[in-house]
Chain A
Amino acid sequence: GAGVSQTPSNKVTEKGKYVELRCDPISGHTALYWYRQSLGQGPEFLIYFQGTGAADDSGLPNDRFFAVRPEGSVSTLKIQRTERGDSAVYLCASSLGSPGATNEKLFFGSGTQLSVL
């Protein structure tokens, strides 16, 4: 596709439920990032994939959060037993390579607004 696609754009769920958020990166981009952004805050790093593997998952807040990228393209962020504090915009971004090493631009999707009631 032309840009990073995230679905759904909005997700409302109840406390304790399980949710999956999907990210379809720009074709050919090997690097994929998940960030979380709360109102009035900057994006908070969650996890980074290079290809199929999670190269850095140090930002995942706890074991309720998990992400996969089985074929090196589409990624799914999974949240178990959702809590009200999980409510935020979940942003996905992709780049051809590492933004630090190669001056590669990070392209963000429009995000998924998650609301946990």
Chain B
Amino acid sequence: QKEVEQNSGPLSVPEGAIASLNCTYSDRGSQSFFWYRQYSGKSPELIMSIYSNGDKEDGRFTAQLNKASQYVSLLIRDSQPSDSATYLCAVNRRNTDKLIFGTGTRLQVFP
């Protein structure tokens, strides 16, 4: 079992819709959770971080964390074609300083 699992996609949504990206992790001791966006041929950039159970909103993005279910998700409201990218879930375990990344979910937003 991979430490961080994501559906590789592609996830295709129409412009204006809500895109829902999901991630599960295996280490129950994980404490910090991140979503990175990576455009093709570019390096990852951080878009959201979440540390406690519940929702965290930033503009069109909402991160959701459920530690009991070991599940973290990212919702993108009013999806735009410019949101088309690979979204990487990353997890930081307790007492470590390394981020473990999932394989990423490719999102396609079509006009």
Q: Would you call A59 and B98 a contact (CB within 8 A)?
A: yes
**Of the residues A42, A59, A99, A100, contact of B104 by C-beta under 8 Å:** A42
CB distance from B50 to the nearest CB of A (A): 10
Q: Would you call A99 and B99 a contact (CB within 8 A)?
A: yes
A45 to B102, CA, bound (A): 11
**Of the residues A43, A50, A100, contact of B96 by C-beta under 8 Å:** A100
Q: Would you call A108 and B100 a contact (CB within 8 A)?
A: no
CB distance from B32 to the nearest CB of A (A): 4
The reply on A31 being an interface residue by CB < 8 A is: yes
Range of interface residues on B (Cβ < 8 Å): 20 to 34
Give the chain B neighbours of A25 by CB distance below 8 A.
Answer: none
Given A42-B104, A103-B49, answer yes or no on A98-B97 (Cβ-Cβ < 8 Å).
yes
Given A41-B103, A42-B88, A99-B92, answer yes or no on A56-B98 (Cβ-Cβ < 8 Å).
yes
The reply on B12 being an interface residue by CB < 8 A is: no
**Of the residues A58, A100, A108, contact of B32 by C-beta under 8 Å:** A100
Range of interface residues on A (Cβ < 8 Å): 20 to 34
A101 to B100, CA, bound (A): 15
**Of the residues B31, B90, B103, contact of A40 by C-beta under 8 Å:** B103
* 30 A–B contacts from the bound complex (CB under 8 Å): A33-B98, A42-B90, A42-B101, A42-B102, A42-B104, A44-B101, A45-B98, A45-B99, A45-B100, A48-B98, A50-B97, A56-B97, A56-B98, A58-B98, A59-B98, A91-B44, A98-B97, A99-B32, A99-B34, A99-B99, A100-B31, A100-B94, A100-B99, A101-B97, A103-B32, A103-B49, A105-B46, A108-B43, A108-B45, A111-B43
| Besides A40-B103, A41-B104, A99-B32, 8 other A-B contacts (C-beta < 8 A) | A45-B99, A48-B97, A56-B96, A59-B98, A91-B43, A98-B97, A100-B92, A108-B43
